[in-house]
Structure 1
Amino acid sequence: MMMEEKISRVFDNGKMSGVTWQVDGIKIGHSISKFKELTSFDASSKADVVRMHFGMRGDYMFSYKQLNSTFDLIGGHHNIMYSRDFDMTVSNKTLELETFGIQFPTETFIQFTQNATDALKRFAENIVQGKSAILSKNWGAIDSQMQQVLSQIIHCKFSDELKSLFLLSKSIELLVLCADSIDLSDSKKEVFIKSKTDKEKIIAVRDLINERVHCPPNLTEISRHVGLNEFKLKKGFKETFNNTVFGYLTDQRLNLARQYLLDTQRTAAEISTELGYATPQHFNNAFKKKFGMTPFSVRNNP
């Protein structure tokens, strides 16, 4: 049985609103926090669960008592953490934060990961022993594939048992994507983007593309906007998101197009024009290449 609940919290200098879903003991949540000024607040829980965390938008820092660690994070990151309970202090560095999380019961998580990657196996061993742990000291970047799954969950139109099945499958999909991304992050060397300032600039590139999917800037404009030369911009973006700037833009356009097809009555021709495709046929071909079906098929078989 699936349960859905609207949530809210008032801070001294802001408020949070969101929604949680619970299915088969797994709790999924999405929230947006808006602040009047930069501030700090405490968060705690006694739940014995594994927490998969996604910072979708905004910059913040948090100190996690049970991990004896402080993390200084820029929007678009993810990791998996465990402690029997948690106490943390969060300091926002932007006035709006968007986060997403999945809490797996420990037994469920261990069942899912007992034959998984070496990193997940080591992480699960810590859980069995009751030790606080984080999957990796390197936080993974949220790529276009993860963004698509997150969007599918947040905007899910199914109800009852179908929604329950959908949320369960998508939570497992995110676990797989998260583990694979962090494996990649741990194994690769940062050649082009080494400083925190440059990392922030690459995140700003991604955010600019997301904001202007309908009228995307060219590389020269992006370069001037974030203060990186085009060579470092292209190489750094690929290093961070495992995709080219153009490839990422294409993915975001098509993900948005799919959402329009499911949520609105706009025709495929109208959507293709709005998203800047030269012709409806060009849009149709690109859509079919990414999703394996035509725009018409998506609308009639969501």
Structure 2
Amino acid sequence: MEEKLERIIDNSIIRSTIWTFDEIKMGHAISSAEVGSTFSTGQQNSDVVRLHFGLKGDYVFTYKQLNKTYDLIGGHHNIMFSKDFDIVVQNKTAEVETFGVQFPRAVFVNFTQNATDALKRFAEAIMNDKSIMLSENWGSIDSPIQQVIQQVINCNYSGDLKKLFMLSKCIELLVLCAESYDLANKKDPFIKSKADKEKIIAVRDLINDRVTDPPNLSQISRLVGLNEYKLKRGFKETFNNTVFGYLAEQRLHLAHQYLRDTKKTAAEISYELGYATPQHFNNAFKKKFGLTPFSVRNNP
């Protein structure tokens, strides 16, 4: 079931889409409010495990059941559990975009009780009714996580096929989050300050906004105020990809979307996205997706 909602909570307007299947919920929300405004929400006896993804915007997130406050910037994720769920959010930007998955506790435990050590410890804690986050350090939304979320938001399937697709994507997000947590905890972070982390997030947003006309590294460096060495190493650490590797992936996923949703030819898409020749685009596309652009256009 898919449901579109618009709510006004404490002068914040929240527009959301909710998908429900097999007692699992996924949701995408965009909230608009004055900078510095707050809104609160609470759920009693919800008994669900939450995957939370902050896609865009900065906010302060106070979680009553954990007695903790997190100062978050766009591009983060974590997994959390508490029987009740009382939060207060203060917007630091006029718009905040989030995505979430809710697993019933028993379903989550069934998926994770024999998974990674971190997930097994988390599953044991929630079975004992402990309010907990998977990690005190919020993970970064890298390209694979971002692409799965976009696939859900832009899904064109219907009926039982859509239900199967959504189920596969929520499990994929769980796996990617757990993998991100394991990678992040194996090394001492290079980017330590919040200010530098915000600049790395700004680099990602800049690339996303200018996929068809990207600036070069020296231009990006000047725009965000980071030297090229810190920019390249910090971006690789945060998103598990180089700046231009990330750009290449974004171009190819945008090309895939164009082939599905527009009548643009492969040659037109190739030119628009900055490939040297249609053949170069064709080769890169096939290497990424295992299909030619022609196959996608004729078998969406």
Q: TM-score, normalised by structure 1?
A: 0.97
**Structure 2 matches for 1:120-269, cutoff 5 A?**
120-191=119-190, 193-269=191-267
Q: CA deviation at 1:259?
A: 1.1
**Aligned AA (2:96):** L
Q: 1:206 to 1:294 in 2, by over 3 A?
A: same
TM-aligned CA deviation for residue 71 of structure 1: 0.9
Question: Which amino acid letter does the alignment assign opposite residue 242 of structure 1?
Answer: N
Deviations 1:65-122 (A, max 9, x none): 1111111111001010000111011011111111000000000000000110000000
Give, in whole Å, the separation in 2 of the partners of 1:293 and 1:221: 34
| Structure 1 unaligned blocks of 5 or more | none
**Cα distance in 1 between the residues matched to 2:136 and 2:101:** 19
CA deviations on 1:23-43 (whole Å, 9 max, x unpaired) are 111000001111233311101
TM-score scaled to structure 2, two decimals? 0.98
What are the superposed Cα offsets for residues 252-275 of structure 1, whole Å, 9 maximum, x if unpaired? 111111111111111111111111
Distance 2:298 2:31 in 1: 36
Say whether the 8 Å CA contact 1:13–1:37 is kept in structure 2: no
One-letter identity of the residue aligned with 2:57: G
- Determine the C-alpha separation between the residues in 2 that align with 1:142 and 1:74: 11
Contact 1:8 1:18 in 2 (8 A): yes
The letter of the residue matching 1:206 is R
2:119 partner amino acid: L
Deviation (angstroms), 1:298: 1.7
| Deviation for aligned residue 1:12 | 4.3
Measure how far apart 1:301 and its partner are.
Answer: 2.6
**Which residue pairs with 1:21 in the alignment?**
19
Q: CA deviation at 1:13?
A: 3.8
1:294 and 1:139 mapped to 2: Cα distance?
37
Compute the displacement of 1:237 (Å): 0.7
Return 5+ residue gaps in structure 2 as ranges: none
Q: Which of 294, 297, 300 is equivalent to 2:295?
A: 297
Contact 2:12 2:39 in 1 (8 A): no
Task: Judge conservation of contact 1:60–1:92 (CA < 8 Å) in 2.
Answer: yes
Q: Aligned with 1:119: secondary structure? A: helix
Q: CA RMSD in A?
A: 1.0
> Could you list the runs of 4 or more consecutive aligned residues of structure 1 that deviate by over 2 angstroms after TM superposition?
11-14, 299-302
- Between the aligned residues of both structures, percent identity stands at 68
Matching residue's letter, 1:238: K
Contact 1:136 1:186 in 2 (8 A): no
Q: What residue number does 1:278 align with?
A: 276
CA distance in 2, matches of 1:125, 1:59: 32
Q: Report the Cα offset of residue 158 of structure 1.
A: 0.3
Match of residue 38 from structure 2: 40
